[in-house]
A and B are shown apart, each in its own frame.
Chain A
Amino acid sequence: AQSVTQPDIHITVSEGASLELRCNYSYGATPYLFWYVQSPGQGLQLLLKYFSGDTLVQGIKGFEAEFKRSQSSFNLRKPSVHWSDAAEYFCAVANDYKLSFGAGTTVTVRA
């Protein structure tokens, strides 16, 4: 079955600095990939998704992700982080009509 790995458990970044969160997937064909964000005590909100086509995907809140087949990666980026971006970020891959999630990366934003 398809799976994803998020190598970074916790990242601390200064407000205004750039952010990159890593996600690696294992799948033979072109995967359907997602990034979700979870604020404390909340459900998950979809940031962006990749199905096919352009490998650079734009999402909400100024986030983007790039699909790289050669590296089996789907990394999430934001050029300038805001304090409100402090949250848990989950990468996910589709397995039929189900999703398999990575362990998540906690992002802390310091002033």
Chain B
Amino acid sequence: EADIYQTPRYLVIGTGKKITLECSQTMGHDKMYWYQQDPGMELHLIHYSYGVNSTEKGDLSSESTVSRIRTEHFPLTLESARPSHTSQYLCASSSPGTSYNEQFFGPGTRLTVL
């Protein structure tokens, strides 16, 4: 079944640790996105990719980095986690084959940095 997956769903980690949030989609979409969402707040785009080896920063500045080596995989990395990184991170994908700009979302990763 075509879908978009995020792991882990929940992560509690100490300050200074390096973490990678995984996002994979099986829909063959070329465009992928990372959003940051604080509880009860709107979504802010932090990274996006329009294809392999293409990554761009979003509207909200973030200390995280991303890579797009394979079409289906778009991991997000924090080299040194801090309490200010505590948030929910949502991954999404879209394709020109779908309705214009319709994005499909993963279940999210809730990150807590102590």
- Using a CB–CB cutoff of 8 Å, the interface residues on chain A facing chain B are 32, 34, 36, 41-46, 49, 51, 88, 90, 94, 97-104, 106
Contact = CB atoms under 8 A, between A and B. Distances in A.
Contacts of B27: none
B21 interface: no
Contacts of A100: 59
Which secondary structure dominates where chain A touches chain B?
strand
Interface of B: 6, 31, 33, 40-43, 45, 48, 50, 58-59, 90, 92, 94, 99-108, 110
B48 A98 contact: yes
B100 A94 contact: yes
Contact of B33 (A32, A98, A102): A98
Contact of B107 (A34, A42, A101): A42
B101 A32 contact: yes
A12 B105 CA distance: 26
16 contacts: A43-B105, A43-B108, A44-B90, A46-B102, A46-B103, A49-B99, A49-B102, A51-B99, A97-B31, A98-B33, A98-B101, A99-B103, A101-B42, A102-B42, A103-B41, A104-B41
A43 B45 contact: no
A99 B101 contact: yes
A10 to B, nearest CB: 9
A55 B100 CA distance: 17
Contacts of A49: 99, 102
